[in-house]
Chain A
């Protein structure tokens, strides 16, 4: 799925670049999309401060309790300076367990536990291995995610620890709340495809016609 996206992006690069330049022209009024993604039911009732973790069921990775990532598809230029993001390792979990980032984002992985942690990925979009390190490791180990796709993060030491980094070609994305509600602001005008990533196999999409200053409601059934 992600590789499809990447291929698609690669093919449409030239025409997209023009559109993006137009869309990001200063002064252009931004559009907003809000709505709700129908999330898969979980057995456990969501509670406050519940830790989000990655669960695997029948080979499908998702978060528990479920949340979705809503993003606007399109070829957007990379920022000049890589945006930064962070996944903390605390209490033997990755926080957050699902991190959407724009391709080219540098993600730091601070270790907040008293034990060694290791982060590695064998996922095709980004293979890396940070080795084992403690909380006092400086600089904080970081990885630049430069190719769109889904990256599974694992800890070499703690086999249950998982995190997903959803590397997107777009800067326009948001994580829904536990009810599935989202609000995506600062979107460029024009005809776009709005997508909702629900789990590693399920991505829903919706074509939207955005106009500046308008708030459009999109629900993913």
Chain B
């Protein structure tokens, strides 16, 4: 894998499959690394960060669920933003919740976007398409983020 990749943090296997399907349906071919709880996601990011290889192996986009086992999504986001190497990574919260407190805290902690997963798959696929289009193609990432990596 030598391309830009997406980190999907999602504990629900059905949502994972649907997100991957939506990406595939929209011809978004970036590799996707899936982590199924907050601790796994942080371990993954921190290990990448301290790679002796230097500035590599960070995802170009993180799709982050909020309600996660072990460490919840907001805490994952807070720690991503607290770390010099990961603080500029684009993070889009992709969740079921539309609670005002989650929205406010999500943005407070520095989320780049907040998208509520629709029940209707057609709408869900469209949301994923637009997120992918914007963050993987249109948006210019900060120089520290989204570097390519020879292998995962």
Are the chains A and B members of one assembly? no
